[in-house]
Structure 1
Amino acid sequence: MGTAPVGGAAFAMKPEEKARQRIDDKLVSAGWVVQDVKQLDLSAGVGVAVREYPTDTGPADYVLFVHRNAVGVIEAKKDNAGENITVVESQTARYATANLKWRKDNTPLRFLFEATGQIIRFTDNADPAPRSREIFHFFRSETLAAWLAQPNTLRRRLAEHMPALPEQNLRSCQISAVTGLEQSLAQNKPRALVHMATGAGKTFTAITAVYRLLKFGGARRVLFLVDTRNLGKQAQQEFMAYTPPDDARKFTELYNVQRLASPSIDPHAQVCISTIQRMYSILSGEPIDESAEDVSLNEVQQTARQEKLVRYNPAVPVETFDFIVIDECHRSIYNLWKQVLDYFDAFLIGLTATPDKRTFGFFNENIVAEYTYEQSVADGVNVGYDVYEIETEITQKGAELKAKEWVDHRERATRKKRWAETEEDTPYTGKELDRSVVNPSQIRQVIQAMKTAVETEIFPTRTETPKTLIFAKTDSHADDIIQIVREVYGQGNAFCKKVTYRAEEDADSILSSFRNDYHPRIAVTVDMIATGTDVKPLEVLLFMRDVRSKGYYEQMKGRGVRSLDGDSLRRVSNSADGAKTRFVLIDAVGVEKSLKTESRPLEKKPGVPLKDLLQGVAMGSRDEDTVLSLANRLVRLAKQLDAKAQARIAKASGGIPVADLGKALIVALDPDAIVQAALATARAQGITRSEDTLLPEEIEAARAERVAAACAPFDKPELRDEIENARREREQLIDHINLDQVTHSGFSEQAQAQAQAVTQTFADYLRQHKDEIAALDFFYQQPYQRRALTFDMVEDLHQHLSKPPLMLTTERLWSAYARVQASKVKGTDRKRQLTDLVSLVRFALGLEGELRPFADEVDKRFQARIFRHNAQRGTAFTPEQTEWLRLMKDHIASSCSISREDFDYAELADKGGLQKVWGLFGKELDTLMNEMNMELVA
């Protein structure tokens, strides 16, 4: 092939020539042999691109040969920002249908390319309704050969050969998602968005679609992009567990699934799971920081240093993947990382529970399925939530550490403490808590308020702490929270654990225990469980950190929405009464009201603040105390900083490591070295001096020169800032002096409104369905009617109320009334019985002025009945008779009525059953039961 001119001649190349040179280079990097028509040699490789090939309509810029057969054409144009390359598509088509010289077969060429030095567009004429698309780079000739060998193109298979979706074992939202996606693909739409609420089974839906694309669509390979390594593991497990509806084997028995942990893609893998960070590393040549895969991209701020362009990688050609599934396609794909998606010639399929305007825009507003959180709650797929607020004085207003206070100073990395005085007054705001200053009292007050609220207001009937997840600001903050949680709850290590990527124990093991075992009851995390991770038994989320973006906040809230049946919930929370029907978000930082970015405060240091030492030296302070203090501070700092911080400082200093900056200051003040420098200066000036005859001003001049040279780097403000930042990130002040107090603890206005809506929905339902349900008919008639209210009636009513979309369980109703009419509601700390529904109905209908547990009402009426009987008859029941009447009363309290058959069950049978009670009451028993059924229940 031709070569580019060298030297100054390169600048004389015409725009067309420059474009051709770049096109040549791209073809060669994709494995093509590029030749001029005069040097044509079709045996030179699998794919040969021949320049200026003659046709009956003029020479084509490039004709592509694969295995000696002409298969495609490239129309080359100069780079021109003002010209859209699509305008030359007709020229490409003309060459594709022209007669090629020396070619016997005049079948139109299939593969059409338009290219400049910057842009490539491609059309496959075998597609239905062939449509051009932009591609990052030319395809390999082997790829074109494989496409030619197939009876149909991928797009034709998607349009014409996808069978109907089997609907068994799929929710309606999953059916509509897969069906909508396949309809979009059949229309050759390059991007599709599946909006499904957290908990609705997005990954299961995606795997169903991937299976069908591999089996029926003939896809070669699918990339499944995830946000973190942990979500990659979770996705791999779901692929391994998936059994398709038309095959008894697991997905991973049918197709190879690779979770990418190196730059090499298994050529036999049909599904490749990778973080977008790792794929970016492969394509950009930027080394990957393994820990980067552990942090959600919601939390990563991209800097100019990171902006390295993706480049063509022959080992991973652009046609490697036919489809890219982007799990949780939030903001990470819109900036630097978007290059990964631009690189591959693949359909893009986005999955998200929290779309925003950018999401809709990126996916061309092609929403193939939409299933909102509200719909998922109505369907019983997810549960609703209440917001409970905890406010403390220091969280709201901050505090101040006065100068000369003795407090702990703690290193961030090692958590090593030293006891020292504060250097100056240190005010801090609530936003700065747990970053520059830690106030243990603030953490303790929040945890104590949470414990009290959960035990007395939120889940008052539980005997164990519901599964609780606490979101911390940093790893260090998580450690502080854990110690205080264990202390406040009076529990051991197993009770509360950290689930982050930096935990000493295996994070996956702790997460599994949190999900499936009794312990831990409380988990503290920074980022690992923030998005996507499934922990269904979660019932309490405590936010002790603010969140940068609304989308990420919704993701974090999504950890609590998963529904769970009663048996599964009781396996880890054995006092739970039935299925999970809600979760509670406890807001201790105002996250519901403010989603602003956290600010990082300046940190003050012991003695003279480090920033003041740096500023003083920059301003010309050269006294020994200042210079030596700064030197000692820098040498000590060098031992405490990690490699990244050291590198940042070295870059700002012009290549001098932070330790050497400090050592240079010490060396500059070396008396012997100063004397030798003064002598050298004198000699250079032709003055004879000895150490004894040096003048004081000569020594001082030498000292000043040496110190000035050592201090020169600190003239740069960027160096001073970098050192101060490194120090600020390294150490925290522990404020044990300012004690905090809770200023507000209670359900939010939103939660109150939700509770009001629940009670209104209940009242409306009773009114609308009074003629349809036997139990309601009982209450809407006269209260003392003879028709008995049976347990079956109550159970039937409960089934109507508790299923979607109402989800009005007895527990939820009681809790709602307790919030909106607290003074009239009794027994909130008691475990609900199904018969409490009777009290709820009576209260909602206005038949009772107070809402009290059904058992309490039965007991009250029972006491009145015994008193009335004794007064009327003049003779009291015997103690044994009274005990049996109490047993009968308790049975009515839990079952609404009693009959002869009931004496064969449980406690009544254990006490002697029907034979025993008949012996005590004789023929009066039936009358007694009828009277009790009427008087105690009606």
Structure 2
Amino acid sequence: MTPEAKARQLIDQKLQSSGWQVQDLKQLNLSAALGVAVREFPTDSGPADYVLFVNRQAVGVIEAKKDSAGENLTVVESQTARYAAANLKWRTDNSPLRFLFEATGQVIRFTDNADPAPRSREVFHFFRPDTLAGWFDSPNTLRRRLAEHMPRLAERNLRDCQVSAVTGLEKSLALNKPRSLVHMATGAGKTFTAITSVYRLLKFGGAKRILFLVDTRNLGKQAHQEFMAYTPPDDGRKFTELYNVQRLASPSIDPHAQVCISTIQRMYAILSGEPIDESAEDVSLNEVRQTAKQAKLVRYNPAVPVETFDFIVIDECHRSIYNLWKQVLDYFDASLIGLTATPDKRTFGFFNENIVAEYTYEQSVADGVNVGYDVFEIETEITQKGAEVKAKEWVDHRDRQTRKKRWGETEEDIAYSAKELDRSVVNVSQIRQVIQAMKTAVETQIFPARKETPKTLIFAKTDSHADDIINILREVYDQGNAFCKKVTYRAEEDADSILSSFRNDYHPRIAVTVDMIATGTDVKPLEVLLFLRDVRSRGYYEQMKGRGVRSLDGDGLKRVSNSADGAKTRFVLIDAVGVEKSLKTDSRPLEKKPGVALKDLLQGVAMGSRDDDTVLSLANRLVRLAKQLDDKAQARIEKASGGIPVAALGKDLIAALNPDAIVQAALATAQAQGMTRTEDTLLPQEIEAARAARVAAACAPFDQPALRDEIEHARREREQLIDHINLDQVTFAGFGEQAEAQARTVIQTFADYLRQHKDEIAALDFFYQQPYQRRALTFDLIEDLHERLGKPPLMLTTERLWSAYARVQASQVKGADRKRQLTDLVSLVRFALGLEGELKPFADEVDRRFQAWIFRHNAQRATAFTPEQTEWLRLMKDHIASSCRVSRDDFDYAELADKGGLQKVWQVFGMELDGLMNEMNEELVA
């Protein structure tokens, strides 16, 4: 069978599976089915491969090609268009055919000629005949309605950020953009915004059905509740009275449902034929590691055709749309709408960098939508270093699942690290010390005026860990069962009722969770988050922090916390495991100088202190103060400022530091001066000048002594009730002389170890021996050194070492707020040995050396590296930064493989490849 014949066979099968009857011209019978696909139908431009008839009327054409043409199907679009415009034999109406397909056995592309600016797109499968019949009979296509018939948005009851998101999304859809990303801070009302858009797409856009995709059952339940509560601005009825909303709990989609809410796990199971594990819908995909054996392919399901949904709204899209799960999105012929508070590079890339609305956490704090946060650290000996249980000790042994205990003797010395705590080893004293430290800090420093414990959420590692925490909480606080509850998917009590009580009632005061409240769950009265688990994913960590950001008015807070005096103005993140240091987060505490008095911040700004920390700290204090002051105090400040409200003073300071706005200001200044500049060619001094001008303008009001006095006077009036705080003030955990002394001890221990073991550790030869041996450094050697340092009693992780240097030698340390890579150990060793005068991330040094290397090569070569070659060199450089070297085998992994692997890079460089890799390995790492 020829390749063309094989492709036709597969095309026939796909047409038949989607409801078409395929016929040869000699057996033509247009009454045989609603949809008939006729092979080799004659036209005045030659025979068309397939002509599609619906209700006996010719509506479309398919141009078939062999499989090898799949990636080049766009080049035959003109051929398809020629057949569509040709006169069909025996047809009286010779108007052009509307629906155009190009297909191989594997790839299908589709164009609707009735769309504005018709554009082809790849589809997973052919559409059903009744679908094309409905489209054919409609006076306008969906895309034309979006471009031409959407009325102006009614802005009543919408925040500015929500208006921006809905209008930005509709503009993107009107331009036929297939993927649109809405970036809105947690607490800004993403779901409400999405439902507003869904309502308009159904009512005015004429959408048939919309999929609202989540990654946990709990989030699906919450979304359903919000749909039921939503009342559109132009109709007094609830959304669910106007449209059918189905929360999918079976493989069957209600044909009458206009909105379907489903977990991506369930939809994947429906499309792949993989039986769903009901518990899979209870765990966020942040917590799920996808394995190769899971990768069952999605296949066409006639009960759920590809045109089932017109739009897919992906809630918290950064978590679930990659790798295995992406097949669900590839299957449906639908525009994708992503919602997230914490996008990352993958998110931006997936949505084609089409960010239709952006509302950051800092903006939400300035607007009063969310509150800022402070970080309070708790460190214990065992949390930092682990411990050791000697042999022949009699201790409890507990089954992880049943929690059944036995009393037994240890057979050997058992040393454990912090990572093993509450997994293989439970140290009750460690949990108790953290809980006691939290209680003391909250009562004496964080919320000293409160008579009851503020609503507190604790993140535990496992369900068993949560049980241990619950028991110790009740003991330390001397409270009964109602005081604290576990809220996990495995809790014995109904998790939803506990969560409702936690949100709305006095008890429980403290909730302990593993994953159920980690993302998307709204608990506005939360004022304290305690992390007793580390988090690998930056996005997931941001989501977890987001549980505390929701603002709440004074009455709402007082309803569950009787002694609260005024609105919720902040929340406090208590870090007991180093989670803030273990990764780099997008959002940051606006309060950079918690120990500096407000009057000193005001005076400093007036004297010219314009660094980011000072400006952001003052902004945070003013935004917080605005929520606490009565109308009279607000009016006095506004009068002293020349008409600027106190909240606006803080908001202006935050806006002044917006990096995008600074760049635009620098560009405008350059243009006004007659200079041609782009974002890439702006000089550092031009950007700094623009920043200084914006910050100076925002700080100008504070030059007036009357305004500074009025703000300080208002603060004193408000804070008189808590003047007694300083009587019991406790030194901020993790800082001060003792912490610095500990950091110096860590550094000295590291230096001593390097000196004492230089002959035993192969990796150190790289630094101690002659330059020609430097090329011997490999990732395995660094990994070996890392393991040796990380074992008890040293426990010298790269994170701990970097933190110690940052605390003691801050001016010489760069990148302290970044997530550490294993290769950063190279930088630590070089700095400790005095080979470098500055401690900076290994990747930064690799970047610097790479720039010098490629510049030299371009200068020496007859022709400079091409853009494609440069891009490959950068990919290889990035691999070296994370793995110390690059070799041919590495092209089978990660981004190198995604770009075409060894075969592609060999096409780009040819015989030069090995020599270039050797040079880079030597020069970038040396």
Q: Same fold (TM over 0.5)?
A: yes
Give the Cα separation in 2 of the matches to 1:841 and 1:119.
68
SS in 2 for 1:391: coil
Q: Alpha carbons of 1:329 and 1:761: their partners in 2 closer, same or farther (altered >3 Å)?
A: farther
- Give, in angstroms, the shift of residue 331 of structure 1: 3.4
Following superposition of structure 1 onto structure 2, how do residues 697-712 of structure 1 map, counting pairs within 5 Å? Answer: none
Q: Alpha carbons of 1:142 and 1:523: their partners in 2 closer, same or farther (altered >3 Å)?
A: same
Give the Cα separation in 1 of the matches to 2:49 and 2:361.
55
Q: Alpha carbons of 1:395 and 1:45: their partners in 2 closer, same or farther (altered >3 Å)?
A: same
Q: Deviations over 1:708-744 (max 9, x none)?
A: xxxxxxxxxxxxxxxxxxxxxxxxxxxxxxxxxxxxx
Following superposition of structure 1 onto structure 2, how do residues 85-164 of structure 1 map, counting pairs within 5 Å? Answer: 85-164=73-152
Q: Alpha carbons of 1:463 and 1:766: their partners in 2 closer, same or farther (altered >3 Å)?
A: farther
Residue matched to 2:626: none
Give the Cα separation in 1 of the matches to 2:605 and 2:350.
43
Q: Which amino acid aligns with 2:517?
A: I
- Give, in angstroms, the shift of residue 335 of structure 1: 1.1
Q: Deviations over 1:418-448 (max 9, x none)?
A: 1011121111001110000000000000000
Q: Which amino acid aligns with 2:554?
A: G
SS in 2 for 1:336: helix
Task: State whether residues 372 and 590 of structure 2, in contact with CA within 8 Å, keep that contact through their aligned partners in structure 1.
Answer: no
Task: State whether residues 372 and 589 of structure 2, in contact with CA within 8 Å, keep that contact through their aligned partners in structure 1.
Answer: no
Give the Cα separation in 2 of the matches to 1:328 and 1:852.
39
Task: State whether residues 537 and 564 of structure 1, in contact with CA within 8 Å, keep that contact through their aligned partners in structure 2.
Answer: yes
Q: Which amino acid aligns with 2:556?
A: S
Q: Deviations over 1:770-803 (max 9, x none)?
A: xxxxxxxxxxxxxxxxxxxx99854634787763
Q: Alpha carbons of 1:758 and 1:543: their partners in 2 closer, same or farther (altered >3 Å)?
A: farther
Residue matched to 1:370: 358
- Give, in angstroms, the shift of residue 767 of structure 1: 9.9
Residue matched to 2:59: 71
SS in 2 for 1:302: coil
Give the Cα separation in 1 of the matches to 2:562 and 2:719.
25
SS in 2 for 1:803: helix
Structure with larger RCO (C-alpha < 8 A, sep 6+)? 1
Task: State whether residues 228 and 295 of structure 1, in contact with CA within 8 Å, keep that contact through their aligned partners in structure 2.
Answer: yes
Counterpart pick for 1:525 among 502, 507, 513:
513
Task: State whether residues 70 and 106 of structure 2, in contact with CA within 8 Å, keep that contact through their aligned partners in structure 1.
Answer: no
Q: Alpha carbons of 1:396 and 1:44: their partners in 2 closer, same or farther (altered >3 Å)?
A: same
Q: Which amino acid aligns with 2:12?
A: D
Residue matched to 1:303: 291
- Give, in angstroms, the shift of residue 765 of structure 1: 8.6
Counterpart pick for 2:464 among 472, 476, 479:
476
Q: Which amino acid aligns with 2:650?
A: L
Counterpart pick for 2:13 among 2, 25, 28:
25
SS in 2 for 1:51: strand
Identical residues among aligned pairs (%): 81
Residue matched to 2:323: 335
Residue matched to 1:806: 650
Counterpart pick for 1:507 among 495, 500, 525:
495
- Consecutive unaligned residues of structure 2, counting only runs of 5 or more, are 609-628, 639-643, 653-704, 725-926
Residue matched to 2:213: 225
Q: Alpha carbons of 1:256 and 1:156: their partners in 2 closer, same or farther (altered >3 Å)?
A: same
Give the Cα separation in 2 of the matches to 1:496 and 1:275.
30
Give the Cα separation in 1 of the matches to 2:719 and 2:560.
30
Residue matched to 2:473: 485
Q: Alpha carbons of 1:223 and 1:34: their partners in 2 closer, same or farther (altered >3 Å)?
A: same
Q: Alpha carbons of 1:338 and 1:846: their partners in 2 closer, same or farther (altered >3 Å)?
A: closer
- Give, in angstroms, the shift of residue 272 of structure 1: 0.3
1:494 matched to 2:482? The reply is: yes
Give the Cα separation in 1 of the matches to 2:714 and 2:130.
82
Task: State whether residues 387 and 750 of structure 1, in contact with CA within 8 Å, keep that contact through their aligned partners in structure 2.
Answer: no
- Give, in angstroms, the shift of residue 148 of structure 1: 1.1
Task: State whether residues 843 and 850 of structure 1, in contact with CA within 8 Å, keep that contact through their aligned partners in structure 2.
Answer: no
- Give, in angstroms, the shift of residue 334 of structure 1: 1.2
Following superposition of structure 1 onto structure 2, how do residues 80-479 of structure 1 map, counting pairs within 5 Å? Answer: 80=68, 83-479=71-467
- Give, in angstroms, the shift of residue 855 of structure 1: 10
SS in 2 for 1:796: helix
1:572 matched to 2:416? The reply is: no
1:753 matched to 2:593? The reply is: yes
Task: State whether residues 388 and 751 of structure 1, in contact with CA within 8 Å, keep that contact through their aligned partners in structure 2.
Answer: no
- Consecutive unaligned residues of structure 1, counting only runs of 5 or more, are 1-12, 598-747, 769-789, 809-837, 858-938
Give the Cα separation in 1 of the matches to 2:714 and 2:503.
44
Q: Which amino acid aligns with 1:537?
A: P
SS in 1 for 2:317: coil
Give the Cα separation in 1 of the matches to 2:236 and 2:477.
48
Q: Which amino acid aligns with 1:58?
A: G
Give the Cα separation in 2 of the matches to 1:479 and 1:805.
46
Task: State whether residues 546 and 595 of structure 1, in contact with CA within 8 Å, keep that contact through their aligned partners in structure 2.
Answer: no
- Give, in angstroms, the shift of residue 759 of structure 1: 5.4
Residue matched to 2:27: 39
Q: Alpha carbons of 1:497 and 1:329: their partners in 2 closer, same or farther (altered >3 Å)?
A: same
- Give, in angstroms, the shift of residue 475 of structure 1: 0.5
Q: Alpha carbons of 1:73 and 1:545: their partners in 2 closer, same or farther (altered >3 Å)?
A: same
Task: State whether residues 763 and 844 of structure 1, in contact with CA within 8 Å, keep that contact through their aligned partners in structure 2.
Answer: no
Q: What RMSD over aligned residues (CA atoms) do the two structures have, in Å?
A: 2.8
Counterpart pick for 1:585 among 573, 592, 605:
573
Give the Cα separation in 1 of the matches to 2:583 and 2:311.
35
Give the Cα separation in 1 of the matches to 2:717 and 2:206.
67
- Give, in angstroms, the shift of residue 575 of structure 1: 0.7
- Give, in angstroms, the shift of residue 305 of structure 1: 1.2
Give the Cα separation in 2 of the matches to 1:84 and 1:395.
58
- Give, in angstroms, the shift of residue 161 of structure 1: 0.3
Task: State whether residues 549 and 596 of structure 1, in contact with CA within 8 Å, keep that contact through their aligned partners in structure 2.
Answer: no
Q: Alpha carbons of 1:308 and 1:845: their partners in 2 closer, same or farther (altered >3 Å)?
A: closer
Q: Alpha carbons of 1:55 and 1:839: their partners in 2 closer, same or farther (altered >3 Å)?
A: closer
SS in 1 for 2:15: helix
- Give, in angstroms, the shift of residue 853 of structure 1: 3.6
Give the Cα separation in 2 of the matches to 1:97 and 1:545.
64
- Give, in angstroms, the shift of residue 64 of structure 1: 0.4
Q: Which amino acid aligns with 1:753?
A: K
- Give, in angstroms, the shift of residue 758 of structure 1: 5.7
Q: Which amino acid aligns with 2:113?
A: N
Give the Cα separation in 1 of the matches to 2:315 and 2:630.
48
Give the Cα separation in 1 of the matches to 2:256 and 2:328.
21
Following superposition of structure 1 onto structure 2, how do residues 406-805 of structure 1 map, counting pairs within 5 Å? Answer: 406-595=394-583, 753=593, 756=596, 762-763=602-603, 794=633, 796-797=635-636, 803=647
Give the Cα separation in 1 of the matches to 2:607 and 2:230.
46
Give the Cα separation in 1 of the matches to 2:332 and 2:346.
21
Q: Alpha carbons of 1:447 and 1:153: their partners in 2 closer, same or farther (altered >3 Å)?
A: same
Task: State whether residues 7 and 67 of structure 2, in contact with CA within 8 Å, keep that contact through their aligned partners in structure 1.
Answer: yes
Task: State whether residues 367 and 651 of structure 2, in contact with CA within 8 Å, keep that contact through their aligned partners in structure 1.
Answer: no
- Give, in angstroms, the shift of residue 751 of structure 1: 5.2
Give the Cα separation in 1 of the matches to 2:716 and 2:262.
61
Give the Cα separation in 1 of the matches to 2:296 and 2:263.
17
Q: Which amino acid aligns with 1:226?
A: V
Task: State whether residues 70 and 104 of structure 2, in contact with CA within 8 Å, keep that contact through their aligned partners in structure 1.
Answer: no
Task: State whether residues 373 and 589 of structure 2, in contact with CA within 8 Å, keep that contact through their aligned partners in structure 1.
Answer: no
Give the Cα separation in 1 of the matches to 2:455 and 2:27.
75
- Rg (Cα) greater in structure: 1
Q: Alpha carbons of 1:406 and 1:257: their partners in 2 closer, same or farther (altered >3 Å)?
A: same
